[in-house]
Amino acid sequence: MARAALRLGVRALALLVLVSVALLPLVSSDDGYRHCEGVVRGWADASSGRVKDGDKLSLKDLLFFLHIPRTGGRTYFHCFLKKLYTNAQECPRSYDKLRFDPSHPDCKLVVSHDDYSLTSKLPRERTSVVTILRNPVDRVFSTYEFSVEVAARFLVHPNLTSAKLMTTRVLTKSRAVSTLDIWPWKYLVPWMREDLFARRDARGVYKVHSSKKVNAYDVDDMVMPLHRYINDPVAHEIIHNGATFQITGLTNNSYFDGAHEVRHCVRKHPDLGRIVLEVAKNRLDQMLYVGLTEDHEESARLFAHMVGAQVLSQSGTLTLDLKEDLPIETDSHPSMEPEDEETNGHLNSTHGWQNNEAMNSTNDEHGKGNMTVGKLMEAYETCIAKLWKSQSGRRKISLKKVQEANFSKEARKLVSEAILNQIISLNRLDMELYDHAKKIFTQEHLMLKAQQSMVGQHRQFGEQKGWIGAMCGDGICPPWMVVLVVLGISTIIVLVTLAVTTRKRTSKLKV
Ligand SMILES: *[C@@H]1O[C@H](CO)[C@@H](O)[C@H](O)[C@H]1NC(C)=O
Ligand SMILES: *[C@@H]1O[C@H](CO)[C@@H](O)[C@H](O)[C@H]1NC(C)=O
Ligand SMILES: *[C@@H]1O[C@H](CO)[C@@H](O)[C@H](O)[C@H]1NC(C)=O
Ligand SMILES: *[C@@H]1O[C@H](CO)[C@@H](O)[C@H](O)[C@H]1NC(C)=O
Ligand SMILES: *[C@@H]1O[C@H](CO)[C@@H](O)[C@H](O)[C@H]1NC(C)=O
Ligand SMILES: *[C@@H]1O[C@H](CO)[C@@H](O)[C@H](O)[C@H]1NC(C)=O
């Protein structure tokens, strides 16, 4: 009897132990999830401060160009913003976090790879944010290609030690901001550089190249293959879902101390990504302008009208000549596809205003010509043609050092479906955010079209220069103005209808 009870007890105990052992990981992982959910939700609640709706379309005192790497933002900086803002108006060292000084008086423009958390350093209610998004798969490709391109420039050195030493010397001497100072390249380039040297050392310098067709994204003996690159912890930390994290202020480069924990939680529990994605979508909704790298021409046109026009009208007397201020490159290779041609510059090239001599002279030549949106677009077209040409030339020279890594649109076709799918699944959040951006872009497009047809109609009515004409001038009408006009017209229609029906009713009553 007692023995049976004991046996039963032992069995029950064993069962209990078994069950708890089985449940333990479940319970603890659930705890991890709960904790993470709390962290992410807490962050989301704290970040969902909204600006007043309807307010977003007018340009505020400070323009923050949130430049997501490899989206083509560089051409906007060079070919639009540099023509719209004077050197003095550009906040010092826009690309360099360490020396960034938003308190600088009169500073009106920040262009940076810094994430949204930078706005905590800016007068938030007086800041307009703009950005450009790109198809995440292409962005990953481009990030890979650019990492290789910049790192390959170091291969002129006999060894890694000498390459590093040289860079430090050049940088301290010139005080220039190099790609190596700028997030995310300051991590991605040294990583790739180290890898390139290791591979070169391993194969020996005198390897004879095969002439058979190779997949440029899988040249194992020369360059870290793409599939390795995207699966490396560094890529997980910095590249995947990079647009979403940058727009939510959660990158590895954030000013927000809790960024790492939130990001870590989202990576560990992918379904928490929803919460982050919602914040990102809201942020995009509230931006003054959202462009798409793929739809480059229309993006530029919208930028000129939605942002450029307002900068011009606010600066009033600012007149600029249209002189090019691009570095002159000697090679004349045909230009590549626009979306592949954003760059953060050469090792030696600088960012920001300090070294830009042409810009210096431009500002002194007031009255050389009145800048309009039309002229701005013209200047932009000339400017990007040159920029792309010089960039593609530079790229070709750099990539010569890793001959078989011959990146191009054509070469991308050799990348397997499996790798493409993997990139997509590693960038789920960015994929969805990009879809959202496309919707916003369509709205912007429609808005501009409505505005222009309205101005067109106004023109048809001829000389009667109404208040639209008076306010908008040369057919340049900022979108917020259109909203006002549309609102005004609707109000008038409603009032007239009301008046008419009321009169009808009263007359009926009298009868
Ligand atoms: C690297 O190259 C430099 C310059 O040729 C040389 O002086 C140095 O000894 C090399 N270092 C190593 C570790 O090979
Ligand atoms: C950002 O990521 C890089 C590369 O993984 C890492 O070396 C660096 O420490 C990270 N920085 C922060 C602040 O997490
Ligand atoms: C940087 O510029 C100097 C001269 O201006 C040149 O000698 C050097 O080769 C350049 N460095 C690179 C990496 O292009
Ligand atoms: C800009 O102009 C000022 C005076 O006109 C001059 O002192 C300065 O060196 C110029 N800067 C550049 C980069 O040319
Ligand atoms: C710029 O515009 C003003 C007023 O619209 C005009 O008087 C002036 O002549 C224009 N300047 C040039 C160079 O076109
Ligand atoms: C690189 O690509 C271009 C065009 O796609 C081709 O003409 C060239 O032969 C390629 N070079 C190598 C080394 O594969």
Structure tokens at 208: 């004879």
Q: Which of 115, 187, 239, 245 for a ligand 2 pocket mutation test, highest count of atoms within 8 Å of Cβ?
A: 187
pLDDT, average across residues 397-423: 92
pLDDT surpassing 60 at residue 143: yes
Q: What value does the mean pLDDT take over residues 426-437?
A: 98
Q: Whose CA is nearest to atom 2 of ligand 4?
A: 360
Q: Which of 29-33, 92-96, 112-116, 256-260 bottoms out in mean pLDDT, i.e. has the lowest?
A: 92-96
Q: Residue 233 CA: which ligand 2 atom is closest?
A: 5
β-sheet bridge partners, residue 110: 64
- Percentage of the chain beyond pLDDT 70 is 68
> DSSP class of residue 90?
B
Does residue 238 have its Cβ closer than 6 Å to ligand 2? yes
Q: Quick one: pLDDT band at residue 295, thresholds 50, 70, 90?
A: very high
Catalytic annotation, residues: 124, 145
Cα 406 to middle of ligand 6, angstroms = 6
Confidence (pLDDT) at 356: 32
Query: Rounded to 10 degrees, what is the CA torsion of 322, 328, 329, 331?
Result: 70
**pLDDT tens, residue by residue, 12-57:** 666 666 666 565 555 555 668 999 999 999 999 998 766 565 678 8
What per-residue confidence (pLDDT) applies to 347? 27
pLDDT (0 to 100) of residue 364: 32
End-to-end CA distance of the chain: give it in Å, rounded: 106
Q: Is the pLDDT of residue 300 over 90?
A: yes
Q: Please give the average per-residue pLDDT across 54-76, as a whole number.
A: 90
Let me know: does 159 contact 197? Beta carbons within 8 Å: yes
Average pLDDT over residues 189-212: 81
CB 43 within 8 A of CB 262: yes
Q: Is the pLDDT of residue 164 over 60?
A: yes
**Residue range 448-454: average pLDDT?**
87
Q: List all residues 6 or more positions away from 119 whose beta carbon is below 8 Å from its beta carbon.
A: 64, 127, 129, 249
Ligand 6 centroid vs 397 CA: distance in angstroms?
A: 13
Q: How do the domains of the chain map onto residue ranges?
A: 62-448, 478-511
Q: What average pLDDT does the structure give for the chain?
A: 79
pLDDT > 60? residue 409: yes
Model pLDDT for residues 90-109, shown as the tens digit of each residue: 887 655 554 556 666 678 89
| CB 474 less than 6 A from any atom of ligand 5 | no
60 touches 129 (CB < 8 A): no
Instruction: Record the pTM.
Output: 0.74
CA pair distance 28, 26, nearest whole angstrom:
6
Q: Please give the pLDDT value at position 128.
A: 95
Taking the CA of 213 as reference, the closest ligand is 6
Residues facing residue 64 across a β-bridge: 110, 129
With a 6 A CB cut-off, is 54 part of the ligand 5 pocket? Answer: no
Two tokens, residue 502: 């009321």
Going by C-beta distance under 8 Å and a sequence separation of 6 or more, which residues neighbour residue 226?
141, 144, 217, 218, 415, 419
Evaluate if residue 340 carries a pLDDT over 80.
no
